[in-house]
Structure 1
Amino acid sequence: MRARFVTALVAALVFLPALPARADTPELQDRIAAAWRTDHLSVDPRLAGGVPATELTRIRAAMRTAGMPVYVAIVPWTPPLKAAGYNMPTLLHARIGTPGLYLLAVVNDTYWSITAEMYRQGGLRGRELVSVQNDDKQRLDVVTDRPAPSIVRTIQEASTALDGRALPTVPVGDRQPPNQYSDHGLSTTDKADRSAYIGMGIGGFLGFALTLRLGLRRRRKTAKRSEPPAKDDPPTEAWDVQLKADDKIRTAERALARLDKRRNRTTEQLDQRDDAYRRLDAARTLRADHPDDLLASAGALVLARQAERVASGAALQPPCFFDPTHNPGTATVDWSDDVEVPACQPCASVVRRGKTPRGLRVWSKAGLHRKQVPYWTLDPDDNPMVASGFGALSDDLPERVTAWKDEVR
C-alpha cells in the first residue's frame, strides 16, 4: 500500500511542472470590452477608490445626454498602454462594434489625458470630432488633475459633432488658473536651456553633414529600382499636405499647452517640453516661410506629429523615409548596400518584394520638361528635408530647418 502511494506521488511530481501555473491575463482592450458589456463606464480595479463618486456621477450624467452610445474607460498609465497609444479606441470599437464615442481616460501621477474617437453609421451627417475640438476655444482651459472635466468636455464636443448643438461654457470650477508661461510656454531659463540644446544640435549637424551628403549620393547610385509609375498618376497634392500639417500643428499646440499647465513637472517632462517646442517651432517656420512648398509642408507635418508625441510622453517615431505623409516608420528596410531606412508597413512590404515604393513624388524643375520624380532623387544640398529624409536618416531636422532659414536670409 505504501509502495503504491509513493509511486503515485512520484508520478504527480513528474507531471506537475508541465501544468500551467495560471491562465494568460487578457489584454487591456479585452478587459475593457468585457467590462463595457455590463457597464459603459469602466473603472480599472487598480483605481478602485481613487476616483471620487462625484466625478463618476458627472460622467454618467454627460453620457446619458450625449445623444449617442458613449463608452468610457478610466485606466492608469502603463507601458502596454503607451505601446498601444492612440490605437486604443479603434481596438475597442473593433471588439464592441457599436457606433458611438469611445473614450479612454488615462491618469499618470495626477495628470489625466484623453484619447477618443467617434464612430458613426454610414451616411450620417455631422462634423469630425477633431474639427469641433479645434474650434473649441475653452478646451485648453479645462483642468487636468481630475477625470470628469476633460471627459465631460469631450462628450460635449462629440455631441456637437453629432447634431450641431452648441457647446456649453466650461464651469468655473473646471477651468485652469491663468497660465504663467508665455505663448511658447518657456521661461527665461528654459529659453536659455533650449538655445544651448539647439547650439549643440547645430554643432553636431555640421560635424556629420558631409558624411550624410556622401551617403545620400551613393544611395542614389546603388538604390533598388522598379518600374516607373504610370504617367497619369498624379503627384501628391500640396494643399492636402498643407491642411494636414496645419491641423497637426494645432494638435501639437494643445498637447504642449496641457503639458505647460501641469504642476510639479519632473525633469524628464521639462526636457520633453523643450524638445517638443523645438520641433513645433521648426514646423511653424516651414509653414510660414514656405507656405506653398510641398516638401516644406511635409516636413512641417512630420515635425508637428513628433512634437505632439513628445509632449504627450509617447515614444518618438521616425517618419517613413519613402513618404513622410504616411504612417511613421515602424519597420527598418535595406535601401542600399550600407543604408537602412525606416518605413511604414506598406512601403516596407514593397521593398521586401525587391521593388521601390512610389514614395512622395514632386515635379522636377530640370530642363524644359517637368516630370514627377521621387523626392530623394533631388539634390540634398538644396533642401534639408531631402538631405535628412525628413528626419528618417538623422534626427536633426529642426536644426537643419533653422540653418536653412538663416541661409535663405
Structure 2
Amino acid sequence: MKTAIRRALFGPVLLLMAVMLAMVTALAPGAHAADGLDEAAAALKQGPVYVDPRAADRFSQAEADALAKKIKDADKPVFVAVLPKAPEFQPETLLQDLRTKVGISGVYAVELGKGFNAGADPAVMSRSAVDNLVGAVKRSQYPTVTERLNSFVDSAGTQANGRAPTAWDAGAGGFDVGTAVGLGALVVVGGGGAYAIARRNRKRLEAEERAALEDLRVVVDEDITAFGEELDRLDFSPGEPGADDAMRADYSHALDAYENAKSAMAAAEHPGEVRAVTEALEDGRFSLATLAARRAGEPLPERRLPCFFDPRHGPSVVDVQWAPPGGAERTVPVCAADKTRLDEGMEPMARTVRTETGDRPYWDAGPAYGPWVGGYFGGGLLPGLLIGTMLGNMMMTSPAYGADFGGPGGDVSGSDFNPDDFGGGFGDGGGFDAGGFGGDGGFGGGF
C-alpha cells in the first residue's frame, strides 16, 4: 500500500524529471553512457531488461521489448540482463555488483555468455525459491536465451513480492532535441496539473488504506484480547512449586509477545504492518503451548503452524485434507478439537470476520485480511492453503496485494543487502548445475 501511494504521488513528478533529464542529456555535448556494468545498471534503473550491444545477436531488441512488457504488465521488480563474456563482468561477483549498482530491491536474472543465474532480496523472493527456479530453467535445457528468460520471468512474475520500481513509469529514452524542447515546455505548463493529480491520488489511496487498517483493527484487537485471556487462564506464577528456569523463560517470552503485539498494533499506520502483530501472537501461543507441556510433564510440542481454521486455537497438531464449499481439497494444519470435529463429520470452528454481506470465514473475506493471515502462516505457504478461496484468488491475481503482503520490493535500498543472496558465478562448462551456488558457482553452461 505504501508503494502504491508513492507511485500515485511521485509518478507524474518522476515523469517530468525524466523529461528534463532527457533534455539535458540530448543537448549536452559529448554526452554518453558509461561502459560495462555501469551502463547495465543505469539501464535497469529505467527499465526491466538490458541487452549489451555485444550480446544483441543472442537476444534481439524485439525479444527484449516483449520480455520487458511482460515484466511491466506483471508489475513486479524483476530485472534481466543479457551480457557477453567480457573482462568487466566478473562471474563470481557479477550478481551482487549489479544489485549494488542498481540499488533497488528485486529479483535479478543474468544471462552471461552461455551461463545463467539469478539472485533476489529475501523480502522479494526467498533464496530457496530462486534456487529452485534457476535449477528448473537449467534442467529444462532450453535451446535459446528467449526460452530461458521467458521461463524464468513467467515464474518469477507470479512469485515475487513487491511492485515494479516507480522509475520504470518514467523511463525516458529516445528523446531527440526537438521532442525534448517541446516536452520541456509542457513541464512548465503542466507542472501544476501533475501536482494536483498526484495530490488527489494520494488522498484517495490514503483513505483506502485507513479504511483497510480499521477493518483489520477489529480482528486484531479480538486476537490480542483472546491471547491476554489465555495468559490469565494459565494461572502461572514464576515462583510456584515445581517452576523451573525453562518454564519461567516460556512464560516471560509469552508476556513479551503479548506486549509486542499490543505495541505493534498501537503503532500501525498501514495495513501491511499488522503482519508483525499476528507474528508476535503466533510466537506467544507457541510459548504457552510449550509451558503447558512442561507443567504437565508431557513431551514438548513440535513447532507447527497455527490451526488453519482459527489461529486463536493455537499450534496445530496434525495436517488433514479439507475442501471449502465448491473448492478442491488441500492439506491444512488443524488443532486437535477441529480434527475431532472433522472426523465426526462436523464443520470446523472457523474464524469469521465482518464483511458487507455479513460474517464470513476469513478466507472468504476481502484482501484487507492478507497481512493478518500472513503473520500467522507466512507468505510461502498461503497460496496452497487458500487456493480457490476469495483471499487466495486475491493473492494470485492482485499485484497490490503482493506488495502489501510480501514486504518491500522495487524500493530503492542502495547497497544495503546481504551479498550471500546474490552469490554464484557463471561457468561455461558442458553441463548443468542441478542446484545451489556451489561448484562452478551455480552457473552451468551447455546452452
Question: Greater relative contact order (Cα 8 A, min sep 6): structure 1 or 2?
Answer: 2
Shared topology, TM-score over 0.5? no
TM-score (norm 2): 0.28
